[in-house]
Amino acid sequence: MSAESIARSRAQIYSLLSDVLLHGMTAAHLQSIKTTPNLPSTAPTSIDDWKALHYALFGLNIYPYETEFLSETGFFGGKVTDDIAKLYYEAAYVAYADEPLDHLGSLLGFLAMTCQEEAEAHKDGIIQAVYHMRLLQRRCLNEHILCWLPAFTLAVHAQEEETFGVIADMLLDLAIVHHQDLSEDNNRPTRVFNLPTPPNILDAKNTGFPEIVAYMLTPVYSGLYFTRDDIVRLSQQLEIPHAHGKRRRMFIKLMDTAIEHNKLGDLLALLQDKGIVWHQFYKNRVPIPRFTDAWVKQIENTLDFLQTIRDAM
């Protein structure tokens, strides 16, 4: 397969996945998605069903934004968005207007456009343009997407929804292979990916459930991601009532109710189980330690953090 054909194929797949993540599905891509390998028989068959599933996952549970996964505050804007805006500007890429720049669908749209431009440059024999487009792709993957795509993939799988689990796996595999291909272009050192040092809240005075929950709900601290449905499932596993509303309120109520039912130790054990599953995924599923080592370290800290609480009970 020629370099032009590979670039064009990547552009088509990234464009498809961008639309699926941004909109749920479009008429232009409905037939294409049906040919996805391993797509379950339960996958939606109409645009309306795709949009309903999309809203259930990405409107109510997982927020597919880089700031959601990589920011200590979770707020839009700041350095993360500024860096992405600069990257888009260099490629003259215009993101989907109704979503923030750091939406995963927008980032995939950037890859789709630059892969298409690379294909055209191959066709016209403009080698300098080929290298420039591939450099932009490399920056998008290395400095943005691959820093949090594994965590996003894990979060999708945790929702026990097969259709988007298959799609997330396909995207992760595509991004890994793409990264490996781009890494062969040169041997220049790449920026080391690190996550911030988590606050040592157990040594702080007056630490309570609100502080513990804030830690657990900040992916760059805990190394984990919790959705509303995740919190409900924890309640169901413990056979205790669950709250409604925002994740913070639900998680605090979960811990309060676990205390009331003498099941806090069981809850902490379930949280550790989740950490072990995520730890194994990073170690065994993603063959790029420079993107996963930081997440593995945070999860190991969280497992120790939870064990310290259990030991103090």
Helix (H) or strand (E) holding 137: helix 127-140
pLDDT of the residue at 242? 87
Least confident range from 37-41, 63-67, 287-291, 299-303: namely 37-41
- Please tell me the distance from the alpha carbon of residue 195 to that of residue 93, in angstroms, as a whole number: 28
Closest CA relative to residue 110, chosen from 156, 163, 169, 66: 66
Helix 3-23 vs helix 104-124: crossing angle, to nearest 10: 160
What percentage of the chain reaches a pLDDT higher than 90?
67
Judged against a pLDDT cut of 80, whether residue 53 lies above it is answered with yes
Give me the mean pLDDT over the 50-79 stretch.
88
Give me the mean pLDDT over the 21-38 stretch.
80
What percentage of the chain reaches a pLDDT higher than 70?
97
- Domains parsed from the chain with CATH numbers: 3-183 (1.10.3480.10), 201-311 (no CATH)
pLDDT of the residue at 139? 94
Judged against a pLDDT cut of 80, whether residue 56 lies above it is answered with yes
pLDDT of the residue at 189? 56
Identify the bridge partners of residue 65 per DSSP, sorted by sequence position.
Answer: 103
Which residues, in sequence order, are CB contacts of 120 under 8 Å at separation 6+? none
Give me the mean pLDDT over the 108-116 stretch.
97
Q: Quote the mean pLDDT of the chain.
A: 90
- Please tell me the distance from the alpha carbon of residue 208 to that of residue 200, in angstroms, as a whole number: 13
Please write the tens of the pLDDT for every residue from 128-181: 999 999 999 999 999 999 999 999 999 999 998 888 999 999 999 999 999 999
- Please tell me the distance from the alpha carbon of residue 204 to that of residue 207, in angstroms, as a whole number: 6
pLDDT of the residue at 55? 93
pLDDT of the residue at 187? 58
pLDDT of the residue at 243? 85
pLDDT of the residue at 24? 82
Judged against a pLDDT cut of 70, whether residue 36 lies above it is answered with yes
Question: What's the token pair of residue 161?
Answer: 């929804």
- Please tell me the distance from the alpha carbon of residue 30 to that of residue 43, in angstroms, as a whole number: 11
pLDDT of the residue at 190? 62
Give me the mean pLDDT over the 45-64 stretch.
91
Judged against a pLDDT cut of 90, whether residue 27 lies above it is answered with no
Please write the tens of the pLDDT for every residue from 180-238: 999 876 656 566 788 999 988 888 778 889 999 999 999 999 999 999 999 999 999 99
Higher-confidence residue of 95 and 277: namely 277
Query: Is the pTM value of this prediction over 0.85?
Result: yes
